[in-house]
Amino acid sequence: MAKEIFMPKLSSTMQVGTLLQWYKNEGDSVDVGEPLFEIMTDKINIEVESYEEGILLKKYFEEDDEVPINHVVGYIGEAGEKVPDSPPGESGAAKEQEDVSDSREAQVEDLTEQGISETVTEHISDDSHGENAAAEKPRATPAARRVAREENIALSDVSGSGPNGRIHQNDVMEFAASKTSFKATPLAQKVATAEGVDLQAIKGSGTNGKIYRADVENAKQASPAAGTGGKRIKMEGIRKVVAQRTLQSKTTAPHVTLTTEVDMSEAINLRKQLLGMIEQQTGFRISYTEIIMKAVAFSLKQHPNVNVSLEGNEIVYKEDINLGLAVAADNGLVVPVVKHVDQKGLSSLTAECKRLGKAARDNQVKPDEMSGGTFTVSNLGMYAIDAFTPVINQPESAILGVGRINEKPVGVDGAIELRPMMVLSLSFDHRVIDGAPAAAFLTELKEALEQPVILLV
């Protein structure tokens, strides 16, 4: 009997997964443990392995489709086995009740698009008299409705190729491709011609996607490359997640950033002394990142009011000190979490940071290695960057930005000396952390790095 393939739930906050790519085609044989497809959660990209062996009989979704957790995405079975044409729960006479619910959902979404309040839509959803109205709505898959919204296409204009005329994603895409014209005001067309803007690339803000002059001007402003033939890349995957989360952080948490300069002379000496010893033990060379993380953990332990998060209207003081390590991967920013840094020696901390850093760059970080962070360190010291203002990685409440180590003339006991100086930038959420305790934490951190022997005690 054919077995369902489900969209897995990989984190406590995951509600949908974006299907990035299939590794198998329909008709291919699949072994247990073999990568079947790749998804993007709200945190990471991850390969999903097969729990069954057999033939991949059906794939219901395509790349970039967003699929709810526990939803059937395909089937594995024996060659020639019959499986539903549509995902279970989305179509078919045997699923009539689910069809009615689905139609209601589509109705609610359509009404929401028209600006009707959520209160009204909920009322319609619960109203038993709404079944007749729902039945008149176009029957479409969630993916088809999403594409229709993105393309400003009315589903009533699209002919469905599925059972009982159900509209699939391909139906909407083919309809969009078949459109030979778009709706735009004469003034919008005139401005577009003058500015060299392609109206086909603009989503109009008017009724049924009608393009107005403001839409053209906004498109021109948002994309300087418009009309110049510049390369355009759709924002997706981790890049899209980073954009959403940094925007959310900056717009919900009032950021305040404090900076201080640290004399790294003693930290450099400590690293030189430990370099060979730790490399012999672990096979890895200790870097300044590990020394800084150890100093951060030491300072957080002295200042627990910085190791906090805001949950609802409660400030939660974290018992663990788990540090996120911002890593620049090819496809975006990844922040694996090093757990219990305060309990680790520099040797084991070096091995853990190197292992997670490689996993992040290779897109191999596991879901539990991305969760539980209480504070993040973002180190740009390998570049010619002296200082920057990092964005808080919520739900954490503070993040440390690390600049390069650079020799500067400083005053020492009445004389001018060249010293290796480094700038630290602490961004914190002013809703839960005040300036004075944040300054005290940063001062403690500066002193720990200038006298790092204290980290070995």
Which letter, b or e, does each residue of 313-345 get, where b requires 16 or more Cβ atoms within 10 Å of its Cβ? Answer: eeeeebeebbbbbbbebeebbbbbbbbebbebe
> Which of 163, 111, 114 shows the shortest CA–CA distance to 139?
163
Quick check: 214 and 187 in contact, CB under 8 A?
no
Helix segments in 305-434, DSSP class H = 346-361
Residue in 342, 422, 336, 432 with CA at minimum distance from that of residue 383: 422
Please give the radius of gyration of the chain, using alpha carbons only, rounded to the nearest integer.
27
- Please choose, from the candidates 26, 22, 51, the residue with its C-alpha nearest in 3D space to the C-alpha of residue 37: 22
Q: Which two tokens stand for residue 400?
A: 């440390």
CA atoms within 13 A on the CB side of 447: 10
User: Which residue among 127, 157, 320, 434 is the active-site one?
Assistant: 434
* Tokens representing residue 6 in the block: 């489900």
| Cα gap 323→446, rounded to integer Å | 18
Q: How far is CA 447 from CA 261, 299, 305, 455, in A?
A: 11, 9, 18, 11
192: left (phi over 0), alpha (psi -120 to 50) or beta: alpha
Q: Is 123 an annotated catalytic residue?
A: no
Phi, psi (rounded to 5 degrees) for 362: -90, 5
Return d(Cα 306, Cα 437) in angstroms, integer: 8
Please indicate whether residue 110 is annotated as part of the active site.
no
**How far apart (Å, rounded) are the C-alpha atoms in residues 227 and 223?**
9
Give me the sign of the Cα torsion angle 79, 81, 82, 88.
negative
- The strands making up 16-22's β-sheet, listed across from edge to edge, are 45-49, 35-40, 16-22, 66-68
- 118: which 2 tokens? 């959520």
Active-site residue set: 430, 434
